[in-house]
A = this chain, B = another copy of it.
Amino acid sequence: MKARVHISLKNGVLDPQGKAIGLTLGNLGFEGVGEVRQGKLIELDLDEADAAAARKSVEAMCEKLLANTVIENYTIELDDN
């Protein structure tokens, strides 16, 4: 089973990288771009076949290593294929 973890900064946490992207898009001539936020995408190949067990395991990975839960939110997507 494949898992995709999306990690993004919580609202209110400053995101200088996203701001730099937004400014550069403006400089390149892209108009109508408001806030830009940059996060992380982590794709994992798991041996686990049971979706509930896989989700629980990936949640533990996020809490322990993948996300800094003080400033980051994470969402987990599982893909059976």
Q: Which of B18, B41, B48 contacts A7 (CB 8 A)?
A: B41
Q: Which of B21, B30, B44, B60 contacts A42 (CB 8 A)?
A: B21
Which among A7, A34, A48 has the greatest number of chain B C-beta atoms within 10 A?
A34
Specify how many copies of this chain sit in the oligomer: 2
A68 contacts the other chain (CB 8 A): no
Residues of B within 8 A of A44 (CB): 22, 33-36
A32 contacts the other chain (CB 8 A): yes
A57 contacts the other chain (CB 8 A): yes
A36-B45, A40-B41 are known; give 8 further A-B pairs, CB within 8 A. Answer: A22-B44, A24-B65, A25-B65, A33-B44, A33-B45, A34-B47, A36-B44, A38-B42
